[in-house]
């Protein structure tokens, strides 16, 4: 992905000119990775309007930095942020959403530049994914799809197993299919636990007739996938089929609303309306979805309270759920990319109710 980093810094320069800034001091490691490709645990970056960018890390990463960040001047110093700040001149923005109060005092002591708050400039660029990013998301989603297919094919979801055992096997199978790690701690929620939106796996034993909700994802090249599927062990009861069909219809309506120019709150409303009209609105307690990329949860927020509109190239989830306390719940989630011709679906596992 190295070829895409310089254009990203050039795009940031345009934002700096719009803000009348001479440079931006970047301290968030994911933003640094986005702008340079560097994957170490200590770094800071100064992006300037004139292109005289400066990258800093410590001596542990000298060789790695030469390989991953070959196209700018390097400074080797343990205290990376103040070392880069010392190189700054003029009116310099800093990532105020990531710098602590004490950290700002350190930066001010290290530089003669005028420091000014400039939050979320890189995050604005990260909203719209380029094709190298979409490729990584596509591979991450494929790893998760294949892992679930293997798990089901080999009888990994069956009575007598615990939620923890299923989660561990699912995560191991994602690694087998190319993931560097799970995107987050996998959710496996069986029976009444499936009615808890963010249940953490326990030693609860799967039983015949249970809903089993699996919310999981794979990490590939730093990019996260996110998918939820709800299965049932054995022949489902009528209420389970009805609940599943309701959530599936809401999810389809939400997917169909994902298009350039759509208000994020309107996308949420498209799915939520289906559930509310069925009299289950109080049991859908969370937003419809979120952006996904270098972070598992990032902008935009598809929710009642969300602001802004979708644009082509954004990657988002659509994940309505209905959770009936003490009985069970259903969530169906996909990762999609906003496209002019309609959303590109990256998570390809069937959304038909799977009976195992």
Beta strands in the chain (DSSP E): 23-26, 44-48, 54-57, 73-76, 91-94, 114-117, 181-182, 187-190, 211-216, 218-220, 223-224, 227-232, 289-291, 298-302, 315-318, 321-324, 328-331, 334-337, 344-345, 354-355
d(CA 320, CA 295): 20
160 in the same domain as 110: no
Asked whether the predicted pLDDT for residue 25 surpasses 70, the reply is: yes
Asked whether the predicted pLDDT for residue 45 surpasses 60, the reply is: yes
Contact between 344 and 355 under an 8 Å Cβ cutoff? The reply is no
217 in the same domain as 73: no
Please report the pLDDT score of residue 4 as a whole number.
74
CATH of the domain at 47: 3.40.350.10
Asked whether the predicted pLDDT for residue 1 surpasses 50, the reply is: no
How many of the other CB atoms lie within 10 Å of CB of 70?
Answer: 11
Contact between 197 and 225 under an 8 Å Cβ cutoff? The reply is no
Residue range 272-293: mean pLDDT, rounded: 98
What tens digit of pLDDT does each residue of 122-165 get? Answer: 999 999 999 999 999 999 999 999 999 999 999 999 999 999 99
* Residue ranges making up the domain that contains 37: 2-125
Token pair for 161: 């197993």
115 in the same domain as 6: yes
Nearest of 219, 213, 186 to residue 200 by alpha carbon: 186
d(CA 190, CA 328): 8
CATH of the domain at 233: 3.90.230.10
DSSP 251: H
Give the β-pairing of 354-355 and 227-232.
parallel
d(CA 93, CA 48): 10
What tens digit of pLDDT does each residue of 292-339 get? Answer: 999 999 999 999 999 999 999 999 999 999 999 999 999 999 999 999
106 in the same domain as 11: yes
Q: What is the pTM of this model?
A: 0.95
Mean pLDDT of the chain: 97
The dihedral sign for the CA sequence 283, 320, 226, 145? positive
121 in the same domain as 153: no
Domains of the chain: total? 2
Contact between 225 and 143 under an 8 Å Cβ cutoff? The reply is yes
Asked whether the predicted pLDDT for residue 211 surpasses 60, the reply is: yes
195 in the same domain as 109: no
| Cis status, amide bond into 300, omega within 30 of 0 | yes
136 in the same domain as 80: no
What tens digit of pLDDT does each residue of 216-265 get? Answer: 999 999 999 999 999 999 999 999 999 999 999 999 999 999 999 999 99
- Which of the listed residues 81, 102, 125 is the one where a domain comes to its end? 125
d(CA 115, CA 117): 7
- Which of the listed residues 82, 97, 125 is the one where a domain comes to its end? 125
């Amino acid at each position: 992905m190295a070829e895409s980093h310089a254009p990203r810094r050039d795009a940031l320069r345009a934002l700096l000119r719009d803000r009348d800034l001479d440079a931006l001091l970047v301290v968030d490691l994911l933003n640094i990775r986005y702008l340079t490709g560097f994957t170490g645990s200590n770094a800071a970056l100064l992006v300037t309007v004139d292109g005289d960018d400066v990258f800093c890390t410590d001596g542990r990463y000298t060789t790695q930095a030469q390989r991953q960040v070959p196209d700018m001047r390097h400074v080797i110093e343990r205290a990376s942020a103040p070392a880069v700040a010392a190189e700054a001149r003029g009116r310099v923005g800093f990532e105020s959403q990531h710098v602590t109060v004490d950290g700002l005092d350190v930066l001010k002591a290290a530089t003669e530049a005028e420091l000014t708050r400039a939050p979320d400039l890189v995050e604005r660029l990260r909203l719209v994914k380029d094709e190298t990013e979409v490729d990584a998301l596509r591979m991450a989603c494929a790893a998760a799809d294949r892992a679930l297919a293997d798990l089901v094919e080999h009888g990994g979801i069956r009575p007598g197993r615990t939620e923890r055992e299923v989660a561990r096997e699912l995560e191991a199978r994602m690694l087998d299919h190319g993931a560097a790690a799970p995107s987050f701690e996998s959710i496996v929620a069986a029976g009444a636990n499936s009615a808890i939106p963010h249940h953490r796996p326990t030693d609860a034993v799967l039983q015949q007739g249970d809903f089993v909700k699996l919310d999981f994802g794979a990490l590939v090249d730093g990019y996260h996938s996110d998918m939820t599927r709800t299965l049932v062990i054995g022949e489902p009861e009528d209420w389970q089929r009805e609940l599943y069909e309701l959530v599936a219809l809401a999810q389809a309506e939400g997917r169909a609303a994902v298009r350039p120019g759509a208000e994020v709150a309107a996308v949420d409303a498209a799915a939520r309306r289906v559930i509310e009209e069925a009299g289950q609105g109080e049991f859908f307690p969370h937003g419809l979805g979120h952006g996904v990329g270098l972070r598992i949860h990032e902008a935009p927020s598809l929710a009642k309270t969300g602001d802004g509109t979708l644009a082509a190239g954004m990657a988002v989830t659509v994940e309505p759920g209905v959770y009936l306390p003490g009985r069970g719940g259903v969530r169906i989630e996909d990762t999609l990319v906003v496209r002019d011709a309609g959303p590109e679906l990256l998570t390809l596992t069937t959304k038909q109710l799977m009976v195992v």
